[in-house]
Amino acid sequence: MNFRFVHNNFNVLDLDKSIEFYQKALNLKEVRRKEASDSSFILVYLGDGFGTHSLELTWLRDRKEPYNLGENEFHLALEVDDFDKAYEHHKNMGCICYENKAMGIYFINDPDNYWIEILPKKYK
């Protein structure tokens, strides 16, 4: 048996705001969408244009309160080819939520406070 990553999911309160954030912050683009026939949910899949793995954003019509993310111990990680440029971009966006200068990494948070780790290319 062989398994392959397909997608990760984040539930979001404001789908348009989240899509805009991921486009601006990480250059992720919508690759497909599924809407419930009763309009109770929308799934939007975002891709990086390089691989097949995607981020699924789930919007639930009846959800009004923020999601409980615990202590934010889980996260996505993305590598970037120009770490310094990405850092400045995210700093200007005001979305850097944690830095570990000793490890050479930092985290940004999205509109729902999910954390995304930013790594320099070929981070080990």
Helix (H/G/I), strand (E/B), else coil: 61: coil
Residue with the two structure tokens 């954003």: 57
Vertex 70, ends 89 and 61: CA angle to 5°? 80
Catalytic-labelled residue, pool 56, 79, 99, 117: 117
Return the structure tokens found at 88.
């400045």
Q: Which whole-number Å values give the CA distances from 3 to 49, 78, 87, in the listed order? A: 21, 21, 33
> Any idea what DSSP says for residue 110?
-
117 is catalytic: yes
Positions marked catalytic: 117
